[in-house]
Amino acid sequence: MANIVIGVTGSIAAYKAVDLTSKLIQNGHEVKVVLTDNALEFITPLAFQAIGRNHVYTDTFKEEDPSVISHINIGEWADLIIVAPVSANTISKLANGIYDNMLLNVLAANTKPVLLAPAMNVHMYEQPAVQRNMKLLLDEGYQILDAESGFLACGYNAKGRMANVPDILGYIEDFLSGRENAPLEGQKVVITAGPTREALDPIRYLTNHSSGKMGYSLAEGFKSLGAEVVLVSGPVKLAPPEGVRVVDVVSTEEMFEAVRQHMDADIGVFAAAVSDYTPVSFSEGKMKKTDETDNLVIELKKTQDILKYAGHNNEGMYVVGFAAETDDVKNYALKKLKDKKADCIIMNDVSNPAIGMNSDDNEVTLLFRDGSEKHLEKASKPALSRKIIQELLEHTGRER
């Protein structure tokens, strides 16, 4: 059984939050309720206190228990926070980092999953600012149980009504039982990330500017959906994602050997910036500058193409490659899709320093083998990874 916080904001649907509290208590959960001042215009704390048998919080500065700071303690206590109903006002404040009441302070200090159930007039719901702010919150990892169409208190028959209580309850129970969160349970995903280093001598090597952020974000995204993730990583300065098996490699050859050990994966995502060439010979001692040689020529040979190997030698792996291009991006990406026998190529323009290699953000287009494509607007790599994974799952048919 879980610890659940219900936040209630100013909407006529606030009365439904009493029913939700009651149903959660009946299901054996413990519930704490936080009301905004606007919610108090519609409903009293006593209604929730009588049902939940817990203190109801309304004011950041009214500390009943001196041993804790309530707006921090509540989030630490919770397994899940639900804001139902959430008004246009609270959505917009939350999306813009305005924390001027108890509920918003609880959310500011919170690290637990949050479910938002909007309720408002249809025109408020359709406001570009409200839509934009909901999108921002989705990108930041908030879950939104979309409003329904139906009779609204303002007299319209339109979209804006809070999702009904059984649906919210079903969503919560699904979430708590892990079903909602683990659609990839039992699936194995192998991911390559970061650069490779091709050694010239004991102290010098050929490499590139890949930071590994894209591949690591994808690893976290797949892990959060319940997949078993093997992350084959070139040398990067990132912390290993929790619960992910990281295989550290340096050269393309090592990366290839590591991937070959995991060809049984259901999904392979090749986000590493792999060196296409490696020195023909390795100098055991430090290469010396000589008086005779002004222009040094280093002979290189092709490396093993890991993505191509996976595309041509898999037994059912869904193979996803990246295409890092600076010009004629789509044509090169389409050629890679075909030559490497990938199921999907994710193309990014690495000539733009604001996205792609060694930046926090990226903007990509997914090209699928069936000819379809999907552009995903610029977003942080973690947020973009969630969207990439969603698109991939829709194509692999693994979506719940």
Shortest Å, Cβ 391 to ligand PMT: 15
- C-beta separation of 222 from 182 below 8 A: no
Shortest Å, Cβ 321 to ligand PMT: 4
Asked whether position 307 contacts ligand PMT by CB under 6 A, the answer is yes
In the complex with ligand PMT, which residue's Cβ is closer, 39 or 258? 258
Asked whether position 268 contacts ligand PMT by CB under 6 A, the answer is no
Rounded distance between C-alpha atoms, residue 262 and residue 256, angstroms: 10
Residue 93 annotated as lining a ligand binding site? no
State which of residues 230, 273, 317, 319 lies at the interface with ligand PMT (CB under 6 A).
273
Asked whether position 385 contacts ligand PMT by CB under 6 A, the answer is no
CA distances from 95 to 91, 132, 212, 340, 380 (A): 6, 9, 28, 41, 15
Which residues, in sequence order, are bridge partners of residue 4? 31, 80
Residue 338 annotated as lining a ligand binding site? no
Shortest Å, Cβ 392 to ligand PMT: 14
State which of residues 324, 337, 367, 384 lies at the interface with ligand PMT (CB under 6 A).
324
Residue 276 annotated as lining a ligand binding site? yes
CA distances from 65 to 51, 55, 62 (A): 21, 10, 9
- C-beta separation of 267 from 392 below 8 A: yes
Q: How many residues bind ligand PMT (CB under 6 A)?
A: 28
String marking each residue 179-218 x if it binds ligand PMT according to CB under 6 A:
-------------x-x---------------xxxxx----
Catalytic residue among 50, 154, 287, 298: 154
Active site residue 154: yes
- CA–centroid distance for 90 within its chain: 23
State which of residues 119, 219, 230, 323 lies at the interface with ligand PMT (CB under 6 A).
323
In the complex with ligand PMT, which residue's Cβ is closer, 157 or 351? 351
Asked whether position 319 contacts ligand PMT by CB under 6 A, the answer is no
Rounded distance between C-alpha atoms, residue 240 and residue 227, angstroms: 16
Residue 353 burial by CB count (10 A; 0-12/13-18/19+): exposed, middle or buried? exposed
Alpha-carbon Rg of the chain, whole angstroms? 26
Contacts of 374 (CB under 8 A, 6+ apart): 365, 366, 368, 391
Q: Which residues are annotated as a binding site for CTP?
A: 276, 286, 322, 336, 340
Binding site for ligand PMT (CB under 6 A): 192, 194, 210-214, 252, 270-274, 276, 303, 305-307, 321-324, 336, 348, 350, 356-358
Active site residues: 154
